[in-house]
Chains A and B, each alone.
Chain A
Amino acid sequence: MRKLLVVLLALGLMFPAIAMAEDKAANTAKEFVVYLDKNARDNHYIPSGWMGDYGDIKMNDQAADNPHNGATSIQFIYSAKKSQNQGWAGVYWQNPANNWGNKKGGFDLTGMTKLTFWARGAKGGEIIQKIMVGGIKGTYPDSAEVEMGPIELTDSWKQYTVNLVGKDISYLNGAFGWTTTADLNPEGATFYIDDVRFEADSALKPETKKQQAMPFYVYADRSSIANHFIPSGWMGDYGDIKYDGSSKEDAYLGDTCIKIMYSGKATQGARWAGIFWQNPANNWGGIDAGFDLSKAIKLTFWARGAKGGERIEEFKVGGIMGEFSDSDSANIGPVILNKEWTQYTIDLKGKDMSYIIGGFCWSANVDNNPEGFTFYLDEIKFE
C-alpha cells in the first residue's frame, strides 16, 4: 500500500513537471511546430477555428498531392459562395481545439522571433487576404496580434515569414490563421499550406514599416490585390448606407467601381453618415498597423453622382485618433459631384504620411441631402 502511495505521489509530481517542461520548451527550443504533417507528434495546434463563411471552406488535412515536406500538406478549397453572407472566411489554428479565448490553453512562445510557413496555390494567383499570429480575444486573450498580407500565391511552394521580434508572444492560443474574401477570389481558391512553425532566429531585426512605393491603392478594383484598405469604418447613420464594392455600372477604370447609396433617413439619429477605409478592418486606432505612405504627395480619386449635384461634406485622408493615431490628416470639401466621372485631389504636400491606418473617408449629411443620394468612386490611390 505504501509503495502504491509512493508511486502515485511520484506520478502526481511527474505529470505537472512534464507539462511545465513542455511549456518552457518553447523558451529554449530553436523551433516550435504548429503543423508539420498529418498526425506528426510535434503538431501543437489544431486548425479548428473556422470563421466567416465557414460553409465555403473545405479542408483536407492529409493532402498527399505534392506536399512541401513529409507525406502530407493541408489543402483548403474556398468556394466564395458566401454561405453565411459574410463575404469572407478563414481558419485559426488553436490550442486546444475551438478555443476562442474562453479557456486557458496555448503556449508561451517567448524566445521565438518569427513564424514561417509554406504555401502554394492550385493554379497560382489565389489571394490570401491576411495571415494572423495571435489576435484571439476572450477571457484568455492572446498576448499579441500580428498580421501580414495580402499575399498572392504562386503555383509552386513558397515560404512566407511573419516577423515577431519585439512582440509579446508569452501566450498564444491562436498561433496561426488565414482569412480571405470573395472579392479577392471571386471564383474561389484552392491552396495548400505546409510546415508551419515558430523559429528562434537571433539575427532577425524588428520589423520597421517600409516606405510604400507609389502609386499605392486604397481601391483599384473589386478583386485587386492592390487594395490596401477596407471600407469597414461605417459612421453616424450607418443604417442609411448601402455599399457595393463591385458595381459594374460604368466603372471609370477596370471592370468594377464602388457604388454607395445613402438614404438620408437618419436611421441612428445622427443625421450624417460616412465610411472610413481602414487597415486592418475596423481599426479605429486600437491596433498598431497601417502603412508608411511618406512618399505620397497627393491622394487622387474619381467620383460621380448618379444625378449630379450630390453634396459630400468631406473627403479625407488620415485623421483616425486612438492609441495608434494616424500621423496626419488632410481633406477637401464640401464637394458637389458631377454626373460625369471627375477626378479629385487631396494635397498631401507637407503632411506627415508616415503612419496611416485611415486611408480614405467620405461623409455627408441629411441637411444638405434630404433625399439621400447615390454616388460612385473609383481608382482611389496615393501618388
Chain B
Amino acid sequence: MWITILKGLLSIWMRSSLNKSNSNSFRAAGYRHFLLVACSLLFLFILSACQLKQGVYIQKLKNQHYRLIVNGSPYIVKGVCYNPIPIGFNHEYDWWADPNKPWIVDGKLMKEMGINTIRIYESNNDPEKVKQVIGDLYKLYGIRTLMGDWLGFWEYPCPFYGDKAFQDKVKSQVLEMVNLYKDEPGILGWILGNENNYSCLGHVNPWSNEEIDKEPDPQKQKVMRASIYYSFINDLADEVHKADPAHPVGLGNGELVGLEYANKFCPDVDFIACIIYRGKTFGNLFKSIRMTFDKPVLLAEFGADCYDAYLKKEDQNMQAFFLQSQWNQIYENLANSKKGAGNCIGGTLFEWTDEWWKYNPDNPQDWKVHNTESGWSNGSYYFDIRAEGNKNMNEEWFGIVALSPELENGLNKRIPRKAYYVIREFWKNPVLKKARDRKVF
C-alpha cells in the first residue's frame, strides 16, 4: 500500500515539476511540491500508525507459528492464576470487596517479578469492583487480566450442556461479563471454562440427556457429549466475538482430552487454554496440539506444590525446579523458537498465593491451618511420590508466594518463595535448558 501511495505522489510531483520545467519559478515550485509530498507522506504515516490494529489478537506467522499481539506488539503471557483468599476464609470470600485491596500489594510484587498477566477464574457480581481490580492492576502496574467463566460447571446437580435452557443461561452470563468489561484497557482476553471437558467423559460432574441415555455404547455416549459441549463452546465463542471483536477467546481445557472433537466442533475459539500437571515436562503437548487441534496454546494452569509429602517438610527447591523446567518448555515453544512447535503464547502458572482452605473446604476451623495432608497422587512430581499411598500433591502449597498469619496493612504478609525469584531471573534471561536436566540446586 505504501509503495502505491508513494508512486502516486511522486508521479504527481514529477508531472507538476516537468510541466513547469521551463519556467523561472521551477526551483521554488519544485521545492513547494516536494514539501507537499513529504507532508502528505508524514500525514499518511501518522494516520496509518494511529490506525494500526489495536486490541488483542492472534497472529499466524509465515512459518505457521502463532503469537499474541497486543496493541501492535508481540506479547508473551507471563502470568499467574490469581485468587487471593486470606488465611481463615474459603473460596466464598469476596476478596474483590476487601477494603485492604490485596491486588495493590500483590500487583507491586508481581510487577517486580515480571508478571504481566493474571488469570481470574470468574468475575464478581459487582461490576464496579471488578473494574477497579482490572483497572488498578493495569494502571498501576501494567498487568493485564484474562477473565474466565466456569460455564456453570459446578452447578447442582450437574452442568446440563445438552439442555437449551442451561446453555442460554450460561451464554447470557458470559455475554454480560464480556459486555461489562470489554472496554477495560486491562482486559487481555476471555477463557471459557476450566476443565469442563472432563464432564464429557463422565468422570467429573457427569451429565446426559435423553438422546445420550438411549445410546448403549459408552464410547459413542462420550462422543455425543463431546460434540454437544464443544458445539456449545463454539456458539459461545462466536457470540463473544460479535460482542467483542477486540479480544481473543480461549477454550479452558483439561489436558488434551477431547481436542479431536474440539477440532471438529469448536473451530472458532482463538486459543486453547490448557490445564496441565505433568511435572517437569509438558511432554509432547505442543506437537500433539499441532496434530489434533491446531490453535495457539496458553498454559492456563500448571505448576508445582512446595511441600514434600514424603519428607513431610516444605521444599521450595522442589517447586522452583519444576516451575523453571516448565517455563523453559514454554519458551522453547514460543513463536520463532528454533526447535519447538511455535504454538505457545505463554502461561499463567498456578498460583500466586497459597490457599489455606483447600484441604477441608467445609470446616472453617481448618481454614486457619496450613494443612500438610495430600489430596491426590501424581507421579510426575516424583520427588515425594514415595509418600504414603503415593499421595504427594498438596493443594494448599501451590503458591509462589507464601501467606503469613502475621498481618501487614490488614493483609496476610506476603513472603515470596524461591520459585518467585527463580522465575523472575529466568524471565530476565531465559536461557533454555534440556528438559531432562537433572535436579541441581
Across the interface, B291 reaches (CB within 8 A) one of A320, A322, A334, A350, namely A350
Across the interface, A284 reaches (CB within 8 A) one of B219, B279, B379, namely B379
User: Does B281 make an interface contact (CB < 8 A)?
Assistant: yes
User: Does B287 make an interface contact (CB < 8 A)?
Assistant: yes
When A284-B379, A284-B385, A327-B284 are in contact, do A321 and B278 touch as well, CB less than 8 Å? Answer: yes
Which A residues, 288 to 343, have Cβ-Cβ distances below 8 Å to chain B?
A: 311, 320-328, 332-336
The reply to whether A321 and B218 contact each other, CB–CB distance below 8 Å, is: no
Residues of A within 8 A of B436 (CB): 324
User: Does B292 make an interface contact (CB < 8 A)?
Assistant: yes
User: Does B126 make an interface contact (CB < 8 A)?
Assistant: no
A16 shortest CB reach to chain B, Å: 34
Which A residues, 331 to 373, have Cβ-Cβ distances below 8 Å to chain B?
A: 332-336, 349-352
The reply to whether B379 and A350 contact each other, CB–CB distance below 8 Å, is: no
The reply to whether A323 and B284 contact each other, CB–CB distance below 8 Å, is: no
User: Does A141 make an interface contact (CB < 8 A)?
Assistant: no
The reply to whether B284 and A325 contact each other, CB–CB distance below 8 Å, is: no
Across the interface, B288 reaches (CB within 8 A) one of A320, A325, A335, A350, namely A350
Q: Number of residues in B with C-beta < 8 Å to the partner?
A: 21
When A284-B385, A325-B279, A335-B219 are in contact, do A352 and B287 touch as well, CB less than 8 Å? Answer: yes
Residues of A within 8 A of B219 (CB): 332-335
When A286-B382, A333-B219, A350-B292 are in contact, do A325 and B278 touch as well, CB less than 8 Å? Answer: yes
Which B residues, 371 to 399, have Cβ-Cβ distances below 8 Å to chain A?
A: 378-380, 382, 385
The reply to whether B382 and A352 contact each other, CB–CB distance below 8 Å, is: no
Per-position 1/0 for A210-241, Cβ under 8 A of B: 00000000000000000000000000000000
Residues of B within 8 A of A351 (CB): 284, 288
Residues of A within 8 A of B379 (CB): 284-285, 320-322
Residues of A within 8 A of B291 (CB): 349-350
Tell me what chain B mostly uses at the interface: helix, strand, loop, or mixed. loop
The reply to whether A352 and B380 contact each other, CB–CB distance below 8 Å, is: no
When A321-B380, A322-B380, A352-B287 are in contact, do A336 and B281 touch as well, CB less than 8 Å? Answer: no
How many CB-defined contacts (below 8 Å) exist between A and B?
52
When A328-B283, A328-B288 are in contact, do A323 and B382 touch as well, CB less than 8 Å? Answer: yes
The reply to whether A321 and B378 contact each other, CB–CB distance below 8 Å, is: yes
When A351-B288, A352-B283, A352-B284 are in contact, do A325 and B218 touch as well, CB less than 8 Å? Answer: no
User: Does B211 make an interface contact (CB < 8 A)?
Assistant: no
The reply to whether A336 and B218 contact each other, CB–CB distance below 8 Å, is: yes
Which of A311, A320, A323, A351 counts the most chain B CB atoms within 10 A?
A323
Which B residues, 199 to 239, have Cβ-Cβ distances below 8 Å to chain A?
A: 216-219, 222
Residues of B within 8 A of A286 (CB): 382
Task: Report the Cα distance A334→B218, complex, angstroms.
Answer: 6
Which of B218, B278, B281 counts the most chain A CB atoms within 10 A?
B218
Task: Report the Cα distance A350→B341, complex, angstroms.
Answer: 13
Task: Report the Cα distance A311→B207, complex, angstroms.
Answer: 20
B163 shortest CB reach to chain A, Å: 24
Task: Report the Cα distance A285→B217, complex, angstroms.
Answer: 34
Residues of B within 8 A of A335 (CB): 219
Residues of B within 8 A of A311 (CB): 218
The reply to whether A325 and B281 contact each other, CB–CB distance below 8 Å, is: yes
The reply to whether B218 and A327 contact each other, CB–CB distance below 8 Å, is: no
A287 shortest CB reach to chain B, Å: 11
B308 shortest CB reach to chain A, Å: 15
When A328-B284, A351-B284 are in contact, do A322 and B382 touch as well, CB less than 8 Å? Answer: yes
Task: Report the Cα distance A327→B284, complex, angstroms.
Answer: 6
Q: 23 A-B residue contacts at CB 8 Å?
A: A285-B379, A311-B218, A320-B379, A321-B279, A321-B380, A322-B279, A322-B380, A322-B382, A323-B382, A324-B436, A325-B281, A325-B380, A326-B283, A327-B284, A328-B284, A332-B219, A334-B222, A335-B219, A336-B218, A350-B291, A350-B292, A352-B287, A352-B288
